[in-house]
Structure 1
Amino acid sequence: MKCYIVDAFAERLFEGNPAAVCVLDEWISAELMQNIAIENNLSETAFVVKQDNEYKLRWFTPGGEIDLCGHATLASAFVITAYYEPFMDIVQFQTMSGMLVVEKQENLFEMTFPSQTPAPCPLTEEMVDALDIKPVEAYLGRDLMLVLEDEKAVQNATPDFLKL
């Protein structure tokens, strides 16, 4: 297997958001992918397998598999177009979040994220305790989003990150 480290959102080396991209001929076990992600110790390690005219893509953090990662998807498209299919301008990835399409435009890559509308959820004592301020609203989708009164409230917040 070949593994690349790509800095997404960067103009120079050692900037941006790094992701590992592992290009496989066929799938390896989820346990082995997890161990590789732990060893890489980056926010995400992407695993890519070509099947027909598209690529299958999975993402692992050191803590487990996740359903979507933008910067590791862009990094995977870069690796494919730079080292495997240099004439390809559109890379299609089949993922846990559905089909993701990355378009190469000269030296830039563009991707449209799937829409995941969060639903309102009730505020809990744990949320208020973790933020040390009472949010105005709460929403739950892939992530929990808490809305504060205004920008100043956000700037002055002193959350307890261990509780979060």
Structure 2
Amino acid sequence: MKMIDNKTIYQVDAFTDKAFKGNPAGVMILDKLPSVDWMQNMAAEMNLSETAFVAPNSNGFDIRYFTPTVEIPLCGHATLASAHIIYQLGIKTPEEKIHFRALKDNLTITKDGDAVVMTFPQYSLSKIETPTNFRADVGFEPVAIYKSDDNWVVAIANTQEDIEHCKPNFDALIANGLGHLIITSEGKTSNVDFVVRCFVPEAELTKILLQVLHIVH
């Protein structure tokens, strides 16, 4: 009888302490990273916005992120979820830092009481001209538009309502070079600093939260 090689996968709801809330991510802690095809198939099976695969290296851990359809270079809430599992399992003590090596970036995690603190790389922004038909394609007239050095377009809206009500034309976004688009504005209430939505139709994703906006300046 053939034995089954069992592996454990965790589902972690980030940014909450309540069941069925927050932003869910899958996490697998492995002895070594499997093939890309295996990780992609597992992420498709989990069918969460992102699943992270983690394995030890000489300086900490390698980490890879997969949506159900494609690998992505970085995901904030899946990094937070992975660090949470590493601390919960006792692989690292709360006094120890966690060093992740992603596809393009090195990420450092520390524990501060019950909080997990993530230090991300910073990407630079350059102001660009508003693309033709932006209002028609996205749904609002931007205050300003920037492009990051990792090819994200960041559009600043005038109001939170612009962000909430926009209905982008995804085919048009791709055709006009806006296949990786972040839209954001100031929050309209005192307890909300800003609101943000991310659209990645080039990767067959129409609404994901990758925390990319939080690491550009």
Distance 2:103 2:86 in 1: 19
Larger strand share, 1 or 2: 1
What is the aligned partner in structure 1 of residue 8 from structure 2?
A: 2
CA contact (8 A) 2:139 2:162 kept: no
CA deviation map 1:106-143 (0-9, x unaligned): 22100122101222233222423212333232212243
Q: 2:156 aligns with which of 126, 136, 147?
A: 147
What is the aligned partner in structure 2 of residue 78 from structure 1?
A: 84
2:109 is the alignment partner of 1:102: yes
> Structure 2 matches for 1:97-136, cutoff 5 A?
97-136=104-143
Secondary structure of the residue aligned to 2:53 is: strand
2:36 is the alignment partner of 1:27: no
Query: How many residues were matched structurally?
Result: 163
Listed as ranges, the gaps of 5+ residues in structure 2 are 1-6, 174-217
Secondary structure of the residue aligned to 1:32 is: helix
CA contact (8 A) 2:140 2:162 kept: no
CA contact (8 A) 2:92 2:98 kept: no
CA deviation map 1:59-86 (0-9, x unaligned): 1112311111111111111111111415
Return the letter of the residue paired with 1:154.
Answer: D
Q: 1:160 aligns with which of 168, 172, 178?
A: 168
Secondary structure of the residue aligned to 2:167 is: coil
Secondary structure of the residue aligned to 1:125 is: coil
User: Which stretches of structure 1, 4 residues or longer, exceed 6 Å deviation after superposition?
Assistant: none
CA contact (8 A) 1:97 1:114 kept: no
**Deviation of the 1:152 alpha carbon:** 6.5
Distance 1:12 1:132 in 2: 34
Indicate how the Cα distance of structure 1 residues 36 and 105 shifts in structure 2: closer, same or farther if over 3 A, else same.
same
**Deviation of the 1:28 alpha carbon:** 1.1
Indicate how the Cα distance of structure 1 residues 86 and 27 shifts in structure 2: closer, same or farther if over 3 A, else same.
closer
Return the letter of the residue paired with 1:135.
Answer: P
What is the aligned partner in structure 2 of residue 62 from structure 1?
A: 68
CA deviation map 1:40-95 (0-9, x unaligned): 11111001011124001111112311111111111111111111415253111111
Identity of aligned residues (%): 34
Distance 2:92 2:57 in 1: 17
Distance 2:169 2:66 in 1: 22
What is the aligned partner in structure 2 of residue 44 from structure 1?
A: 50
Distance 1:72 1:49 in 2: 14
Distance 1:44 1:124 in 2: 30
Listed as ranges, the gaps of 5+ residues in structure 1 are none
**Deviation of the 1:155 alpha carbon:** 5.7
Distance 1:15 1:74 in 2: 15
